[in-house]
Amino acid sequence: MNEPVLVSGLVRFWASRAPERIALIEQDRNWSYGELDVAILKTAAWLTRAGVRAGDRVMVVCENCCAAVSLFLAATAIDAWPVVVNARLAERELDEIAAHSEARRIVFTTSVSPRAKAHAERLNATFEDPAGFGLIGLAPLNEACAPEPLERAAEKNVAALIYTSGTTGKPKGVMLSHANLMFVAKASGAARLLTQDDRAYAVLPVSHILGLTGVLLGSLYYGASVQLVSRFDPALALRAMQNGVSVMIGTPSMYGMISEYATRKGVTPINGPHLRLISSAGAPLDAATKTTVEAAFGQTLHNGYGITECSPTITLTPLDAPRSDCGIGRLLPGIEAKISGDDIGELFVRSAGLMKGYYKAPEETASVIDAEGWFRTGDLARFVDGSWFIAGRAKEMIIRFGFNVYPAEVEGVLNAHPAVARSAVIGRQKDGSEEIVAFIDPAPGATATVTQLAAYAASKLAPYKQPSEIVLMPNMPLSPAGKILKSELTALAAQMAKAV
């Protein structure tokens, strides 16, 4: 039997070879590859009865669970486009994605996610259990949805539409094909030496491209088991490592919290009898975090680099040549890279994982992918001593807890408040992640307090996008042209952190 070329064929491939092998683990329930295959077929039939057609967009509002995996794979099986989004998004954020994607149906993993249930109730969903995973919310049919045309080659069809906020603050849909996702799933899984004996700890959201491809699909490609976790908890993560997890991929801040917890409990070095690989991803890894984590775990913390538009993985540190620095490693086989300068420059990559483009945004797509297929990452990089390093970001994007946060979106929300004349949002490094600091120039005569503005932001933004600190600044530093000087605010934010 040939290896599958479509995302929808991964589970069927292993179900036909080893149906009893465990595919998914969720709390106290295990799903074998055979059981998951049947559940996907039932879910696909349910979506079809619900009016979903090939080329339609299906929005899956979820937190990590078996139902989310089944819904995603079922949508791809009927050639629909799964739009997987985090249930923790604010109402405004979710509604914008639904409107832009023109989703035919919105489904919600209500049995494991209170936030998904709240969204479902707000959008007048009905509730059904199509495949034994628990109740799924089903929003009313969008009659105005028009299906997208299918490609002649099935592997070129969209298998995931992943939304990022974009530098404009508006939702930006990244169209990733079966071929894109399968290339990275296979290559990254091979680099991590995944086998049928592995159990991967899936704490990164499957609504995030790294959790979807690097953890979930990469593991399923090699017949491994995936332990799904809806929310990160250092105590639960430590327990999982002590009880069978062999591979964990997480953000630096996650590893930092696990290390702090284990140290406080006096259980370092961490005893993970099967734990053979810990790898940092989703945010820049700093030397202090790497040193602390390696001391707590008693093994190397590996590193890597990727971007949503590349499905996402571009580089990984090799397991047979661990690094003592924070290099991001080597390019995956089949990926090319170049920089715009001699030593340090903007990074361009060419990869089979590169997206088909941004949905409904051909001009924006053309601005980042040239005629020869080179993608402009917006990150500054250098290549030294056999490894790539990220030297900084050409964009203003903030990476918080492994999620991309674009200042323009946060500023747009703050600026909509009547008490705000203008705002400037910057990132500040802290504990392997970044804080979001918002400087606000109050409107004339405004009386809103920092507490009130924070509450307003919380009502409009997902938790990871909400400012960590709000600073009222009536005299914002401006250039002669009236542009806010963010470089001065970045320096000020750093001074404020030191003064605390």
Amino acid in position 100: H
Angle between helices 234-242 and 252-265 (to 10 degrees): 80
Please state, as a whole number, how many other Cβ atoms lie within 10 Å of the Cβ of residue 487: 10
Residue 440 belongs to a domain: yes
Q: Is 308 inside a domain boundary?
A: no
Alpha helices of 298-433 — where are they, by DSSP H? Answer: 362-368, 407-415
How would you classify residue 311: left for phi > 0, otherwise alpha for psi between -120 and 50, otherwise beta? left
Q: What is the CATH number of the domain that holds 161?
A: 3.40.50.980
CA neighbor of 178 nearest in space, from 159, 197, 165, 162: 159
Q: What angle do CA 467, 472, 475 make, to 5 degrees?
A: 130
The rounded Cα 305 to chain-centroid distance in angstroms is: 13
For the CA atoms of the chain, what is the radius of gyration? 22
Q: What is the pLDDT of residue 468?
A: 94
Token pair recorded at residue 447? 């009386």
Tell me the residue range of the domain where 16 lies: 7-180
Q: What is the CATH number of the domain that holds 471?
A: 3.30.300.30
Q: Which of 135, 158, 180 is the endpoint of a domain?
A: 180
Q: Is residue 273 part of a domain?
A: no
Distances (CA, A) of 106 to 82, 241, 324, 420: 10, 35, 46, 34
Cβ atoms of 488 and 495 closer than 8 Å: no
Point out the domain boundary residue: 180, 214, 233.
180
Q: Is residue 432 part of a domain?
A: yes
In 314-349, which positions are buried (b, 16+ CB within 10 angstroms) versus exposed (e)?
A: bbbbeeeeebeebbbbbbbeebebebeeeebebbbb
The pTM (predicted TM-score) of the whole model is: 0.86
In a domain, 60, yes or no: yes
Q: Is residue 267 part of a domain?
A: no
CA 309/CA 322 separation, integer angstroms: 27
Element (H, E) at 49: helix 33-49
pLDDT at res. 174: 98
Question: Rounded to whole angstroms, how far apart are CA atoms 499 and 84?
Answer: 41
| Alpha-carbon dihedral 129, 134, 139, 140, rounded to 10 degrees | 10
Helix residue spans in 91-217 (DSSP H):
91-101, 114-122, 178-191, 209
Of the chain, the end-to-end C-alpha distance in Å amounts to: 62
Give the residue from 131, 147, 180 where a domain finishes.
Answer: 180
Asked, for residue 297, whether it belongs to a domain, the answer is: no
Q: Are 36 and 23 in contact (CB under 8 A)?
A: yes
Number of separate domains in the chain:
2
Domain assignment present for 321: no
The pLDDT value given to residue 40: 98
Would you give per-residue pLDDT tens digits along the chain (500 residues)?
Answer: 589 999 999 999 999 999 999 999 998 899 999 999 999 999 999 999 999 999 999 999 999 999 999 999 999 999 999 999 999 999 999 999 999 999 999 999 999 999 999 999 999 999 999 999 999 999 999 999 999 999 999 999 999 999 986 544 577 999 999 999 999 999 999 999 999 999 999 999 999 999 999 999 999 999 999 999 999 999 999 999 999 999 999 988 899 889 999 999 999 999 999 999 999 998 788 888 899 999 999 999 999 999 999 999 999 999 999 999 999 999 999 999 999 988 888 999 999 999 999 999 999 999 999 999 999 998 889 999 999 998 876 667 788 888 878 787 888 899 889 999 888 899 998 887 889 999 999 988 888 899 999 999 999 999 999 999 999 999 888 764 556 888 889 889 989 888 76
For position 168, what pLDDT does the model report?
47
pLDDT for position 167: 44
